[in-house]
Structure 1
Amino acid sequence: MTVITPVRHPVVHVSSTPQEMGRLAASDVAQELRARLHTQAVVRMIFAAAPSQSEMLQALAQESSIDWNRVEAFHMDEYTGLPADAPQRFGAWLTREFFGKVELRAVHLIDPGADAERCSDEYAKLMAQDAIDIICLGIGMNGHIAFNDPPADFAEPRDVRVVELDRLSRVQQVEEGLFPTLNDVPTHAVTLSIPRLLRADKLFCCVPGKLKEAAVTRALTGEVDPGCPASILRTHAGCTVYLDAESAAGLTQR
Structure 2
Amino acid sequence: MNGNGLIKPMGTHVVECMSVQVYVDRDQMGAAAAAAVAARLRQLLQDSERQVRIVFAAAPSQNELYAGLIREQGIDWSRVCAFHMDEYIGLADTAPQRFGRYLTERLFSHVQPGRVELLDGLQDVEQESQRYGNLLCEAPIDIVCLGIGENGHIAFNDPPVADFEDPRVVKAVELDESCRCQQVNDGCFAHLDDVPAEALTLTVPTLMAGRELFAIVPGASKRRALAAALHDPISTACPATILRTHPGITMFTDREAYGL
Q: Same fold (TM over 0.5)?
A: yes
Task: Report the Cα offset of residue 117 of structure 1.
Answer: 1.7
> Are the aligned partners of 2:51 and 2:80 in contact in 1 as well (CA < 8 Å)?
yes
Task: Report the Cα offset of residue 147 of structure 1.
Answer: 0.1
Aligned to 2:20: 12
Q: What is the root-mean-square deviation of aligned Cα atoms in Å?
A: 1.0
Q: Where in structure 2 are the equivalents of 1:71-220 lying within 5 Å?
A: 71-151=80-160, 152-220=162-230
> Are the aligned partners of 1:143 and 1:149 in contact in 2 as well (CA < 8 Å)?
yes
Deviations 1:4-30 (A, max 9, x none): xxx933000000110000000000000
Separation in 2, partners of 1:112, 1:122: 12
Structure 1 counterpart SS, 2:200: strand
Aligned to 2:53: 44
1:223 aligns with 2:195: no
Structure 1 counterpart SS, 2:251: strand
Gaps of 5+ in 2: 1-14
Separation in 2, partners of 1:248, 1:83: 36
Task: Report the Cα offset of residue 41 of structure 1.
Answer: 1.5
Of the structure 1 ranges 61-70 and 39-48, higher mean CA displacement relative to structure 2 is found in: 39-48
Aligned to 2:34: 26
Matched length:
244
> Are the aligned partners of 1:141 and 1:172 in contact in 2 as well (CA < 8 Å)?
yes
Aligned to 1:3: none
Task: Report the Cα offset of residue 221 of structure 1.
Answer: 1.0
Task: Report the Cα offset of residue 245 of structure 1.
Answer: 1.0
Separation in 2, partners of 1:150, 1:82: 23
Match of 1:239 among 232, 243, 249: 249
1:56 aligns with 2:65: yes
Gaps of 5+ in 1: 1-6
TM-score of the aligned structures, taking structure 2 as reference length:
0.92
> Are the aligned partners of 1:77 and 1:90 in contact in 2 as well (CA < 8 Å)?
yes
Deviations 1:198-230 (A, max 9, x none): 111000000001110000000001111110000
* Larger relative contact order, structure 1 or 2 (CA cutoff 8 Å, min sep 6): 1
Separation in 1, partners of 2:203, 2:132: 12
Separation in 2, partners of 1:112, 1:140: 20
Of the structure 1 ranges 150-159 and 166-175, higher mean CA displacement relative to structure 2 is found in: 150-159
Separation in 2, partners of 1:102, 1:13: 26
Q: Aligned AA for 1:26?
A: A
Separation in 1, partners of 2:129, 2:194: 23
Separation in 1, partners of 2:234, 2:204: 13
